[in-house]
Amino acid sequence: MVRMPSSLGDRPFSSREAADSQRSDPDQALWLEFARATGPDTFCQSWLSLQCRLLGGVRCALVLLGPADRGPFTPVAVWPHPTFNVTHLTGAAERALRERRGLLLKNDHTDNPDTSIPQTYHIAYPIEASGTLRGAVIVEVGLRPTHDLQAIMRQLHWGAAWLEVMFLRADAVKAADANERLRKVLEMVTSAVEQGRFQEAAMAFVTKLATSLECDRVSVGFVDGKHVRVSAVSHSAAFGKQMNLIAAIGLAMDEAIDQRAMILYPPSADAVPLVVRAHGELVRQHGSGRICTIPLGRDEKFFGVLMLERPADPSFDQDTVELCETVAALVGPILDVKRQEERLPVARIAESLKTQLQKLVGPGHLVLKAVTAAVALLVLFFAVAKGDYRVTAPTSLEGEVQRVMGAPFQGYIREAPARAGDIVRQGQMLCLLDDRDLILERLKWSTQRDQFLKEYRDAMAKHDRAQTIINKAKADQAEAQLDLLNEQIARAKVVAPFDGIVTKGDLSQSLGAPVERGQVLFEVAPLEAYRVIVEVDERDIAEVSVGQRGELRFPSMPGKVFGLTLVKITPVTTAKEGRNYFRLEASLDGTTQWLRPGMEGVAKVTVGRHRLIWIWTHEVIDWVRLQAWRWIP
């Protein structure tokens, strides 16, 4: 965007006036003015005059400058003289700025055919430095051959390098100033950071700041209660003895904190009105010339003050004030953190509680207030409300009886249709032992019995009393052996003693394997009679008693609740997973076909009503009591 000053005249261009202006301006004077130029305006004006004289045949020219890449771009130099009307060059200027390239435009005045200005060429060239657009230069020349126009464009391109150099020099000066300013800031920060303790860091900081900025005295103080307490004064290790000076500095710091603003004393004529009474007293009583007081903090929360005192000359200029504000913003929080860390833990806790309390009772912080109110209501509710206190314990299911099926004699497994988990009926075969040897043995004894009976009858026929008695005894012995073998053959078939479930035993993979007499083959439990084993932690055993009721859930049936009643407490503990448990027996209120011995679940035994806050915290409280008792001598 190009803005033309309203002070430029509307007088039409005259080539005669331009020639007269050129003849009246000697080259030596122009070069001398160019060499002595101190600002961008004088530099551009003298440069433009030299360029127009070197190019020759220039009717008028214009240099536009403005903020880099943003604009607006305004005239800073006009040739042949500053009041010359160059508004007809704005079209070429805007196009060159928009396209950012050199342009050669023919001005045929088609928009105003009655004008007396002859046809001309507008040569526009953008001025760029470090990749940013800074402005443009536009010259107007009369009609001439193409090669002359190309020479003018080359000359203008080379001459524009002077303007680029001007901007680069200005940028270099700004960069040097910024680097110097950054170096000073880093030195201040380093002086505070490299010290371990707060007092040492504060003293090193104010002394370094006073030396760097040529101040008579630099002080730093921090808010302590309702007033600022001076913590360090430059070049004064034992400043506590200067009671009057320290009191005056503290009052001046209070003024800055109370007004939440930086104070420069004496104030300038256009400064915002502030109360500076304490600053005036400090100047009158202790000979300070100028004072700059900067509050430390942000977001309306200030924790300290930095004060700089100088003689009447030099004053605190804008650059110095900005440097002081930057240093205060960086070093202030560092010193405050060191100060907070050196306070006693009780003081830090009290300060934190005070801050939170101020947030609760002060304006704003709606979320914190809402959360605190909700927590308070919850605590009040749980402290007053009561509920059923239930002891939670792991639980397992066992059959009311466990019938063990052992091997009736020494033999081999012939058949084994049943296995663990099978539901069996009374009299159903569980397994069959091989009885062929018994059958052969029974045949043997049957034959011997018949033999003994025949001999017994022969002895009776012969009236041989002694032989009769002997044969009778042998026949009875054989009969007894037959009865024994018949019983063993009958017991070779192991059957279920009642309706139930096989809880242990699987011989289907051991057919033909030998078994010893009395060896456990199966364990069978009834389906309708169960015993619930509740393992209560020793910490809760005092709360439970026989007759209390509870609820039981199994992982396999999480949606179904079984009622139970405690029937027996075994006064023996078992160790499990590093803790001791008492084994309690309970009975189920009802059964279902899905219950099986060996199932495990979680039981909750209702032991009474307590406050909800006690239910949730009594375990922690009991643990703390025990630990305290353990360590108290």
* CA pair distance 165, 47, nearest whole angstrom: 12
Query: Has residue 347 got a pLDDT over 80?
Result: no
Between CA 493 and CA 500, with CA 498 as vertex, the angle to 5 degrees is 105
Please give the single-letter amino acid code of residue 143: L
Residue 543 contacts residue 555 (beta carbons within 8 Å): no
Nearest to 263 by CA among 204, 305, 206: 305
For position 65, what pLDDT does the model report? 87
Sheet holding 301-310, edge to edge: 227-233, 217-224, 301-310, 290-298, 263-265
| Same fold across 15-174 and 529-631 | no
Tell me the mean pLDDT in the region 539-544. 87
Average pLDDT score over residue span 576-600: 81
Report d(CA 618, CA 633) in Å as an integer. Answer: 24
Question: So what's the pLDDT on residue 352?
Answer: 79
Average pLDDT over residues 602-614: 88
Please, which residues have CB within 8 angstroms of residue 140's CB and are 6 or more apart in sequence? 13, 58, 59, 60, 61, 88, 89, 107, 120, 121, 122, 123
Q: What is the mean pLDDT of the segment spanning 72-77?
A: 85
Q: How confident is the model at residue 6 (pLDDT cuts 50, 70, 90)?
A: very low
Q: In whole angstroms, give the CA distance from residue 245 to residue 227.
A: 16
Which of residues 267 and 112 earns the better pLDDT score?
Answer: 267
How many whole angstroms separate alpha carbon 541 and alpha carbon 545? Answer: 8
pLDDT tens-digit readout, 115-157: 455 578 888 888 887 778 888 888 888 877 877 788 878 888 7
Mean pLDDT calculated for residue range 581-596: 80
Q: Which CATH architecture has domain 405-523?
A: Beta Barrel (2.40)
- Residues 241-271 pLDDT 10s: 567 888 899 999 999 888 888 999 888 888 8
pLDDT confidence tier of residue 307, bands split at 50, 70 and 90 = very high
The three-state secondary structure class of 337 is: helix
Amino acid, single-letter form, for residue 63:
V
Burial of 573 by CB count in 10 Å (0-12 exposed, 13-18 middle, 19+ buried)? middle
Q: Read off the pLDDT band of 399 (50, 70, 90).
A: confident
Residue with tokens 């390239």: 101
| Bridge partners, residue 65, by sequence | 74, 135
CATH superfamily assigned to domain 529-631: Efflux pump adaptor protein, beta barrel domain (2.40.30.170)
**CATH fold for the domain made of 194-342:** Beta-Lactamase (3.30.450)
Q: In the β-sheet with 74-79, what is the strand arrangement from edge to edge?
A: 74-79, 58-65, 132-142, 120-129, 103-107
CA distances from 76 to 25, 61, 73, 136 (A): 19, 11, 9, 11
The amino acid sitting at 523 is: E
Is residue 587 within 8 A of residue 531, CB to CB? The reply is yes
For residues 600-618, average pLDDT: 88
Tell me which residue of 279, 247, 239 sits closest to 263, measured CA to CA: 279
Select the more confidently predicted residue: 562 or 159: 562
576/394 Cα distance (integer angstroms): 11
74 burial type by CB count under 10 A (0-12 exposed, 13-18 middle, 19+ buried): middle
pLDDT band at residue 410 under the 50/70/90 scheme: confident
**Which residue, among 330, 391, 390, 369, has the nearest Cα to 188 in the 3D structure?**
330
130 and 109 Cβ atoms separated by less than 8 Å: no
Helix ranges (H only) for 194-276 are 198-212, 243-259
Does the pLDDT value for residue 379 go beyond 70? Answer: yes
AA letter at 3: R
Report the CATH architecture of 15-174.
Answer: 2-Layer Sandwich (3.30)
Domain ranges of the chain: 15-174, 194-342, 405-523, 529-631
Round the average pLDDT of the chain to a whole number and report it: 82
Q: In the prediction, which pLDDT does 292 show? A: 92
Which 8-state DSSP code applies to residue 117?
Answer: P
Question: Positive or negative, the Cα torsion across 543, 545, 551, 556?
Answer: positive
Q: Are 98 and 73 in contact (CB under 8 A)?
A: no
Model pLDDT, residue 604: 92
Among left, alpha and beta (phi > 0; psi -120 to 50; other), residue 505 is: left
CA distances from 201 to 152, 218, 240, 347 (A): 65, 14, 17, 21
